[in-house]
Structure 1
């Protein structure tokens, strides 16, 4: 007869919680640091707005989510009588948080500036857009929390993981790689040390988390070389932004940002969808490690924390991390999520987190982002059936077009006048090449999902299903959800287009429709057994 569970309350902290705390805090600080470096250093958003307005609400989401997961772990431990239950780790999602900075907030700030707003007014408008974006994704995740299993049945893993894998390879891999190589000594040493401890699983002479060691070595090298006059040109000690404590309270500022979210919906909606699918996978991973959390509870917590962050001024969504079994192997239980939530949440409100982030060099932050991009890309292949690998590769291609669009849209490379006139040109042998690149890149995540879904259906012999997906692509391309002919990626009604823009939109839609018709005809033949 099985003995009844013990009613002894689980311990609040164990030795392994310290390792888990350092690992989870470094993950969150690195993402916050890259967001700040991208917005302030690359796009010129005022630092006071990033650190004083965006960070407190973003940190609040991490606090609320980790408190909820701590409570869930203690409840599971008490119910089962086990003292080895490990809480779900929650933090800022690396791909979508960095994607928000590079693809939504930064470009939006430049657009507001181009519309005549000064830096402060454009920064406030960008902050409100970020808040609204989180509210949109939070509402979407709340609704999809009740349909997570259906989503995973409809969309193959090649589509879900391939689309985010392409973004990870290009935006999290390539762009930060360029940044770390702008300071080669610091960047290469930090990146190489990360690869040694995280990929090669090499041993260290000291018993501290490998990521923390890489950060300490890289930061010391950066400031040591810089102060000795051996660093790269332009080295200077940071000028910390003076911040007063900010208590993020719910407000209605997101309402002013809602209209500005419309052009970015083809990015925001897939961002929210991917977190729901990721939450399902994380729940299964924790269940395999012995901690049976209810999937719907895991999803609702991440949806609630994202929504709360948006209402209180946050700009980056939270998610449960895939590494719950790894934290379990470290010996972490429920104390590490409690410590992380309190440190990031309260530190974000008091300005402590912002102070730490300001001293983290981009050459030290970029390597961890590159590693994250590599890991996500590898997972896209490992978690997908081998015969669907071509669909994963196909899903990578639209992100390459988006990457080229980012670089070609840089005014240091191509004049704004020339870039703005790209749809007024004519091609000698077809549509203008630059216009095709921008059109292919707009809505690239949804495009990647649909392309991979159609190819998986072809591989499995479901030609009519593939034709249906292609017809959906045709319809979405006519309204700009995918292949928007608006350089900013906005949506529209097809009859509002004129000139070459209309030609491009109808040509893309016609291509999808013609291929769908061909597959429909092929489906009428007798299929040979596979």
Structure 2
């Protein structure tokens, strides 16, 4: 929601109507690394509670590293060669964002791979769908339809797409769920969490490089000159707030702003995304979605 407001402020300041908000969301590479290289290790040694607390500390320290770079962020942006910053981003994207979903797509080709080929054809051929429907939405609907078709077919194909039943969701996750403060867990995790600085410190540095290069891209390619200092502060603040509310996983500014803008995205999508995700989290909506949508439909996205 903040990045929607940031985009609106830039649009008013420059008297433009084509400003696109910066993409923002969960830092997927950090999620995998925190789970497998910190929390899973601590869970085996000291139990699940300490593992969760160590994850909270890792998230908090990621925010500390980000806020520490704020005074020198613009200097790094202007003096460091962009290919050096891009290398970290490219390595993370290939290793964590592409490789896993790519393998999963080939393991479920009926639902994932066929719609992906359709999506690529639509994007590269620049086909305009009826009602200006985005190609990614068409691919998603196609994946869902094929997943439900697989369920109806049954057998070994349909068994891959079994999801949580509505009754299970109603019994376990329905209702209103407010987040609770995790101060005690954070305090208990400092001793063990700081021992894994060799994991969270390099990842935090890579995240900062990602933020810097993404802001550069929004200016050079997307023609939206957002403040790097402000973006770093907001990224850090979300890590602090998320840690206090109990999440061990940081969020980060995403790559892809020029693509969002080319596809027609402006600032409203960021507000809509924030509101929808908030409501889904508060009411257990993510589990509900998986009762109707095969998980494999998300892989191409």
Name the TM-score class by shorter chain: 0.7 to 0.9
Whether 2:153 is the aligned partner of 1:228: answer yes
Tell me the alpha carbon deviations over residues 96-118 of structure 1, each in whole angstroms, 9 at most, x when there is no partner: 2xx423x321455543553474x
The answer as to whether partners of 1:135 and 1:307 remain within 8 angstroms in 2 is: yes
1:351 aligned residue: 284
Corresponding residue pairs, total? 292
> For 1:247, what is the secondary structure of its paired residue?
coil
Q: Quick one: which of 125, 137, 149 aligns to 2:62?
A: 137
In the alignment, the residues of structure 1 paired with residue 141 and residue 261 of structure 2 have an alpha-carbon distance, to the nearest angstrom, of 25
Report what 1:215 is aligned to.
140
Change (3 A) 1:76 1:173: closer
Contact between 2:6 and 2:21, CA under 8 Å: does it hold in 1? yes
TM-score norm. by structure 1 comes to: 0.49
* 1:311 maps onto 2:244 in alignment: yes
2:121 to 196, 208, 213: 196
Q: Matches of residues 227-266 of structure 1 in structure 2 within 5 Å?
A: 227-232=152-157, 234-235=159-160, 236-239=162-165, 240-241=168-169, 242-243=172-173, 244-252=175-183, 253-262=185-194, 264-266=196-198
Superposed, 1:31-430 pairs within 5 Å as: 67-94=1-28, 96=29, 99-101=30-32, 103-106=33-36, 108=38, 110-112=40-42, 114-115=44-45, 117=47, 122=48, 124-152=49-77, 156-198=81-123, 200-203=124-127, 205-206=129-130, 207-232=132-157, 234-235=159-160, 236-239=162-165, 240-241=168-169, 242-243=172-173, 244-252=175-183, 253-262=185-194, 264-288=196-220, 289-357=222-290, 359-368=292-301
Alpha carbons 1:225, 1:231 under 8 Å: kept: no
Measure how far apart 1:161 and its partner are.
Answer: 3.0
Report deviation, 1:128: 2.7
**TM-score normalized by the length of structure 2:** 0.82
Mapped contact 2:57–2:186 kept (Cα < 8 A): yes
**Mapped partners of 2:59, 2:237: distance in 1:** 11
Q: Distance in 1 between matches of 2:12 and 2:99?
A: 46
Tell me which protein shows more helix as a share of its residues: 2
Unpaired runs of 5+ residues, structure 2, are: none
User: C-alpha displacement at 1:249, in angstroms?
Assistant: 4.1
| Higher radius of gyration, 1 or 2 | 1
Taking a change above 3 Å as real, the CA distance of residues 363 and 79 of structure 1, as seen in their structure-2 partners, is closer
1:69 and 1:337 in contact (8 A); partners too: yes
Residues 210/294 of structure 1: CA separation in 2 closer, same or farther (3 Å cut): same
Matched position secondary structure for 2:238:
helix
Gaps of 5+ in 1: 1-66, 369-530
Higher-RCO chain (CA-CA 8 Å, sequence separation at least 6): 2
Report the Cα distance in structure 1 between the residues aligned to 2:206 and 2:228, rounded to whole angstroms: 15
User: CA 1:229/1:163 → structure 2, altered by over 3 Å: closer, same or farther?
Assistant: same
